């Protein structure tokens, strides 16, 4: 294969394989075997727009030529067990036991009943059931009828259930009377409805002809997105069977104990416990839906021993307290941790069990939930690649991104064709026409061939066995009318047990806000694992000298970390910032300095115009600088295929207006862009920008539409509402609120510049790809906005200044070496202050010698 092109010359083409799955590839490189060009080529955004146009449903596939191959579906494997040992226990729980023969007959009745209602191939059925007698039978019946299954948790709030059903296009729901959500517009059948029971009893339980196609959808599982609404991953029958049969061989083959399921049946990790024992001819014991965890150890001990148990590290700590280490070890032949953080109980358990009997689950729905141990060694079926941004292998020991290939790769994301094309890409190293999944995990391969995971650059954590993004909880809290600021962290509630902790600052003037009310607000909107385990009301969020959230100072955070405070140095020579402001009659300002791709200094001086000192966390309005932050959000939507740069989005004076025109054209684009984004997403502009940009970058001190509501706290932190003319005189009247204007700090605006640089350099997991980042608008010599850069490394200087009434905002960045400066001031003469600081920095850098290489 030829070398990949640079970002400046990169041209993409739309490609598809024999399954009519779409993706993108470089036009200058040989197509991987089994892939052909669709005919569209050009920029990545143009290609993604074409994918959205032609790939209506990533979950569907072309009609199959014949029945699925034996062994490629869980239904076939469980059916063989039913024919081999019909009387053996298959599923049990509170007040019921189903043999393999009974389970097979019940699922056949459900398959015939669902078929009689029109459920068949290509349909998606929501299964909203607790851990009861119908769960396995209904799911198998859905699969035998040819449909896919959307597992839902009865403990999810009704609003969440409705959103999941709508987002996946589910039109049929099987549930219980106690759980059925109001407002669902599809067809509903209740398993405890006497009429449904009668109809099922009239169906024969004998063999149901045919098998699901292995490449059809078995499960659609909800997963968090790095930013934005949760995603729904479509797992094929082949992928599901590949994982659970492998797990059956490794975990469930010894003894008759099978496993116990006591966590959510809708979680990513649930499939292993629900189906692996059945594929090995062993039982699955379902815990009562209302089981109190205080009695978990007693309940498990009464039914032990099991072949294996899956548990979050917190569960093992709980069991160790309830049963002791030896009692916990006696529960099962092996244990599987459902996230990667071992606590003390897990370490002690590993010593008692011996080598190989305590595993750590690795895998997500995108890889059909597999494999089963860390560190991960690449095998014949689970093909693991550590690649760079051009899908080329990196040398051993070098950090890259982990890609997973093989039969476990899922079909894609429901309703998200462009995102599927971006995350599920052609596999140039595998069989013809196959794909690999970009996991978002940083990794490196050792000389011994082991793949070591190095974490993520986003905020995702594992909470009680669920993959979670704290940003979802922060957004729910920000939706409360009395909340001014909210910070949510993943903290260790106990060794090996991560929970969400929320810290909330009430909005000024809010009355009777308490933690219980906020917790209830979250429970109405979020699944249980996203509801904060602790919720603390604060006068203000503690911050370091540079304005960053000081996580170690938050009550109960336990020094959970965060971005380190940048080092300090003097950059003004012999005079202070306060002296410079006085010389130019600017009441207050804050300055952030970038060197080598990092934030090295934040300095503030003066007052906000209302008597309070300006600090590193004082928010200023930034006028037209808001545009390139909003454009960053717009281009994120372009990358996901929800917008196209060249598509017409309106008309101005009879002339077609495109998104590219809004980003790079006249000033009216700044007014039109928010309305366009609201129309496309159905979200208000401010929350949308927090979801797309401010949240992922952790810009806690920034807000569109007005200053963050935090004045009056213990530190007297201020917002610079009052502007001043060139002579330092206050301007009359407050600034009018503009929903498209960003209020931010110098440190936060510096983070935006650093993220732009990361995107331009193609850094792993940057918010944008290099080609799209180059389309971010910056003003050119003629005053019009144009692309941010042609290629990093050629030395462009990205400069943006805004002389808004009574204020000044300026940002300058050199992407190739990471040098930059942000100046925010509440006086019109702030431009002169910025000019002097920039000149002194140039002089200091010249005297210090060549700049260090960019990171």
Q: Are strands 450-453 and 588-595 parallel, antiparallel or unpaired?
A: unpaired
| 258-262, 320-324, 770-774: least confident range | 770-774
Instruction: Say which DSSP state 36 is in.
Output: E
With contact defined as beta carbons under 8 Å apart, do 614 and 720 qualify?
yes
Mean pLDDT within 747-773? 82
- Written as six digits, the tokens of 81 are 């067990």
Nearest CA to 278 among 301, 238, 247? 247
Distances (CA, A) of 230 to 164, 238, 461, 467, 708: 9, 24, 14, 11, 26
- What is the model's pLDDT at position 142? 96
What are the backbone angles phi and psi of residue 659, rounded to the nearest 5°? Answer: -60, -40
How far is the C-alpha of 416 from the C-alpha of 408, rounded, in Å?
Answer: 20
Look up residue 740 and give its two tokens. 């498209």
DSSP 735: P
Cross-sheet strand order for the sheet of 124-128: 187-190, 172-175, 124-128, 148-152, 217-223, 231-236, 412-413
Residue 165 has pLDDT above 50, yes or no: yes
> Does 366 have pLDDT greater than 80?
yes
Overall average pLDDT of the 757-764 stretch:
78
Mean pLDDT, the chain, whole residue set: 80
Identify the residue with better confidence: 170 or 523: 170
pLDDT value at residue 3:
37
What is the mean predicted confidence (pLDDT) over 8-28?
Answer: 85
| Range in 306-320, 480-494, 770-784 with the lowest mean pLDDT | 770-784
CA atoms within a 13 Å half-sphere pointing along the CA-CB vector of 255: 13
Q: How far apart are CA 506 and CA 486, in angstroms?
A: 9
Most confident residue range from 79-83, 490-494, 611-615: 79-83
Which of the pair, 100 or 157, is modelled with greater confidence? 100
- Mean pLDDT score, 677-699: 82
* Residue 838: Cβ within 10 Å count: 15
pLDDT score of 822 more than 90? yes
Q: How far apart are CA 697 and CA 390, in angstroms?
A: 24
The answer, yes or no, to whether residue 378 has pLDDT greater than 70, is no
> In 3-state terms, what secondary structure has residue 758?
helix
Q: Which residue has the higher pLDDT, 291 or 13?
A: 13
Q: How many residues does the chain have?
A: 855
Q: Which two tokens stand for residue 646?
A: 């060249």
Q: Please enumerate in sequence order all residues whose Cβ is within 8 A of that of 128, keeping only pairs 6 or more positions apart, or say none.
A: 152, 153, 154, 161, 173, 174, 175, 176, 179, 180, 181
- Categorize the per-residue pLDDT at 433 as very low, low, confident or very high, splitting at 50, 70 and 90: very high
Place of tokens 């005919």: 39
Chain CA centroid to CA 564, Å: 23
State the chain's maximal CA–CA distance in angstroms: 92
Whole-Å CA distances, 253 to 85, 250, 261, 778: 15, 7, 17, 62
Q: Report the distance separating Cα 827 and Cα 807, nearest Å.
A: 5
Percentage of the chain modeled with pLDDT above 70: 82
* Residue 313, token pair as written in the block: 């590290």
CA distance 502 to 521: 13
Nearest by Cα to 312 from 528, 467, 464 = 464
- Confidence class for position 792, pLDDT limits 50, 70, 90: very low
Pairing of the two strands 450-453 and 435-445 = antiparallel
Q: The pTM is what? A: 0.66
The pair of structure tokens assigned to 726 is: 């060139």
Proportion of the chain above pLDDT 90, given as a percent:
25
Cβ atoms 252, 281 nearer than 8 A: no
Helix ranges, 479-613 (H):
515-523, 577-584
- Token reading at 401: 């991104």
Most confident region among 377-381, 480-484, 564-568, 764-768 by mean pLDDT: 480-484
Sign of CA dihedral 461, 465, 471, 473: negative
How far is CA 320 from its chain centroid? 32
Predicted local distance difference test score (pLDDT) of residue 126? 94
pLDDT-derived band at 855 (thresholds 50, 70, 90) equals very low
Q: How confident is the model at residue 843 (pLDDT cuts 50, 70, 90)?
A: confident
Helix (H, G, I), strand (E, B) or coil at 610: coil
Residues 6 or more apart in contact with residue 495 via CB below 8 angstroms: 313, 317, 343, 344, 345
Q: Quick one: average pLDDT of 329-349?
A: 81
């Amino acid at each position: 294969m030829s070398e990949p092109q640079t970002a400046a010359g990169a041209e993409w083409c739309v490609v598809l394989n024999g399954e009519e799955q779409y993706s993108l590839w470089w036009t200058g490189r040989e197509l991987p075997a089994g892939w052909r060009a669709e005919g569209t080529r050009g920029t990545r955004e143009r290609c993604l727009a074409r994918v959205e146009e032609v790939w209506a449903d990533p979950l569907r596939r072309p009609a199959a030529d014949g029945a699925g191959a034996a062994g490629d579906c869980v239904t076939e494997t469980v059916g063989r067990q039913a024919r081999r040992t019909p009387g053996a226990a298959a599923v049990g729980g509170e007040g019921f036991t189903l043999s393999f023969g009974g389970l097979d007959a019940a699922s056949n009745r459900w398959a015939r009943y669902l078929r009689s209602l029109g459920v068949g191939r290509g349909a998606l059925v929501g299964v909203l059931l607790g851990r009861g007698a119908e769960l396995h039978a209904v799911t198998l019946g859905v699969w035998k009828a040819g449909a896919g299954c959307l597992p839902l948790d009865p403990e999810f709030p009704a609003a969440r259930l409705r959103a999941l059903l709508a987002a996946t296009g589910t039109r049929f729901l099987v549930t219980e009377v106690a759980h059925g959500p109001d407002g669902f517009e599809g067809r509903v059948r209740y398993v405890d409805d006497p009429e449904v029971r009668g109809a099922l009893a009239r169906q024969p339980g004998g063999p149901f002809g045919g098998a699901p196609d292995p490449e059809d959808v078995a499960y659609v599982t909800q997963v968090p997105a790095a930013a934005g609404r949760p995603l729904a991953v479509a797992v094929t029958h082949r992928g599901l069977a590949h994982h659970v049969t492998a797990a059956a061989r490794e975990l469930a083959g010894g003894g008759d104990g099978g496993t116990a399921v006591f966590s959510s049946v809708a979680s990513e990790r649930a499939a292993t416990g629900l189906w692996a024992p059945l594929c090995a001819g062993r039982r699955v014991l379902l815990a009562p839906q209302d089981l109190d965890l205080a009695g978990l150890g007693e309940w498990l001990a009464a039914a032990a021993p099991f072949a294996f148990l899956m548990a979050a590290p917190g569960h093992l700590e709980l069991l160790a307290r309830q049963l002791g280490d030896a009692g916990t070890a006696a529960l099962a032949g092996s244990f599987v941790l459902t996230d990667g953080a071992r606590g003390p109980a897990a370490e002690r358990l590993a010593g008692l069990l011996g080598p190989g009997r305590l595993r750590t689950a690795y895998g997500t729905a995108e890889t059909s939930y597999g494999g089963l141990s860390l560190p991960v060694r690449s095998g014949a079926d689970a093909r693991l690649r550590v690649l760079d941004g051009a899908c080329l292998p990196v040398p051993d020991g070098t950090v890259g991104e982990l890609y997973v290939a093989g039969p476990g790769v899922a079909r894609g994301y429901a309703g998200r064709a462009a995102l599927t094309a971006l995350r599920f890409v052609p596999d140039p190293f595998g069989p013809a026409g196959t794909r690999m999944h970009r996991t978002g995990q940083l990794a490196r391969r050792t000389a011994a061939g082991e793949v070591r995971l190095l974490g993520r650059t986003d905020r995702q954590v594992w909470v009680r066995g669920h993959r979670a993004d704290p940003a979802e909880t922060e957004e729910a809290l920000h939706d409360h009318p009395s909340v001014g600021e909210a910070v949510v962290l993943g903290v260790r509630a106990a060794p090996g047990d991560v929970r969400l902790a929320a810290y909330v600052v009430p909005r000024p003037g809010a009355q009777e806000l308490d933690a219980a009310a906020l917790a209830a607000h979250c429970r109405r909107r979020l699944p249980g694992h996203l509801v904060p385990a602790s919720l603390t009301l604060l006068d203000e969020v503690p911050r370091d000298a540079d304005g960053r959230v000081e996580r170690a100072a938050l009550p109960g955070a336990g020094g959970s970390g965060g971005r380190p405070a940048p080092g300090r140095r003097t950059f003004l020579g012999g005079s202070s910032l306060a002296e410079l402001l006085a010389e130019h009659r600017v009441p207050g300002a804050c300055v952030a300095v970038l060197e080598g791709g990092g934030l090295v200094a934040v300095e503030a001086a003066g007052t906000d115009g209302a008597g309070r000192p300006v600090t590193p966390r004082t928010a200023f309005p930034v006028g037209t600088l808001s545009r390139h932050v909003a454009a960053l959000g717009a281009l994120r939507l372009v990358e996901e295929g929800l917008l196209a740069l060249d598509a017409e989005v309106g008309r101005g004076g009879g002339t077609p207006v495109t998104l590219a025109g809004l980003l790079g054209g006249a000033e009216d684009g700044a007014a039109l862009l928010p309305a366009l984004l609201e129309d496309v997403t159905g979200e208000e502009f401010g929350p949308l920008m927090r979801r797309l940009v401010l949240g992922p970058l952790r810009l806690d001190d920034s807000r569109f539409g007005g200053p963050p509501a935090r004045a009056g706290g213990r530190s007297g932190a201020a917002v610079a509402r009052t502007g001043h003319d060139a002579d330092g005189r206050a301007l009359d009247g407050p600034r009018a609120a503009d929903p498209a204007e960003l209020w931010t700090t110098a440190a936060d605006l510096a983070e935006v510049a650093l993220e732009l640089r990361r995107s331009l350099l193609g850094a792993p997991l940057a918010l944008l790809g290099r080609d799209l980042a180059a389309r971010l608008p910056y003003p050119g010599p003629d005053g019009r906005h144009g692309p941010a850069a042609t290629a990093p490394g050629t030395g462009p200087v990205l400069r943006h200044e805004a002389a808004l009434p009574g204020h000044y905002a300026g940002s300058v960045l050199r992407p190739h070496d990471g040098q930059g400066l942000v100046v925010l001031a509440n006086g019109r003469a702030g431009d002169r202050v910025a000019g002097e600081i920039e000149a002194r920095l140039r002089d200091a850098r010249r005297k210090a010698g060549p700049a260090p290489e960019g990171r």
